[in-house]
Amino acid sequence: MTNNRKTVTEDDLHAYVDDRLDEARKAEVELWLRDNPDATAEVRQWQAQAAALKTMFSAYATPREGDDELLKPAGSAGSSLPQWRKAALLAASLVLFLSGAAAGVFGGHLLGGPAPLESAGGLESLPGQSKTAFLVYASEKRHPVEVGADQEAHLVAWLGKRLDYRLVAPDLKPQGFSLVGGRLLPVNGKAGAMLMYEDTAGKRLTVLLGKNPENRETSFRFESANALETFYWIDGTIGYAVTGELSRERLQAVAEECYRQFES
């Protein structure tokens, strides 16, 4: 990162990732990030980690009244904790939460009880996984994909075989996007695929595909998180999600074209 840390601190960046800045300060941080690519890459990683944790454990997290009190040491009511102390307490609470969540997920298998519901791996988790993939790979300059667009035939054959699905890479040139390439990655614990596209201004979007054999319903949905927009749907045994830092209207046009070509 650059020496401009005196204008934007690491606390500011964490608050930005957690969406805890007011609009004026958020705009200042975003302006600063444009001039600090190393910091931007780090923020992307933090956002990806946060999205992955949220996706993985969202089905098991149930907020309760008084949870905030767990972060306050005895006798500290009304006092202001130093930032490092707050971070330590939050980290400790996260460890406890993840331990409990893991016990909830795997405990049934270990004890021979019934398996948990599959809601964490269904339609609701698809946009979170798509956003995580976008945040991790769309900002990569040298290795955003495993197989480039110059090997498109090999790419779709390879990924289609892993998904057991007749995969095509949608032609999005009329929408202003060209194929960058794609990669294999896990979706709902199974082999999934990600295709990446880029416009002439360097803006990227990703198309995520994953197996979802328990769902036969076609359902278009939309989810927004900060500047990221995602359209997602499940048709037959495959779930799809299109994610990008684009206007909702433009991304919807891309998603509709993807749907048309995937179904043709």
What separation, in Å, do the N-terminal and C-terminal C-alpha atoms of the chain show?
A: 47
CA-CA distance, 46 to 226, in Å (whole number)? 14
**Hunting for tokens 């202003």 — which residue is that?**
176
Instruction: Please give the distance of CA 260 from its chain centroid, rounded to a whole number.
Output: 24
CA Rg, the chain, in Å?
A: 21
Fold for the domain defined by 121-263: Phosphorylase Kinase; domain 1 (3.30.200)
- Give me the pLDDT at residue 94, please: 53
Mean pLDDT of each 10-residue bin along the chain, 264 residues long: 61 84 89 84 75 56 59 52 52 49 40 37 74 91 92 96 93 96 91 96 95 69 88 88 94 94 85
Per-residue model confidence (pLDDT) at position 52: 62
Determine the pLDDT at residue 64. 59
**Domain range list for the chain:** 3-65, 70-111, 121-263
* pLDDT at position 101: 45
Tokens of 65: 């009244």
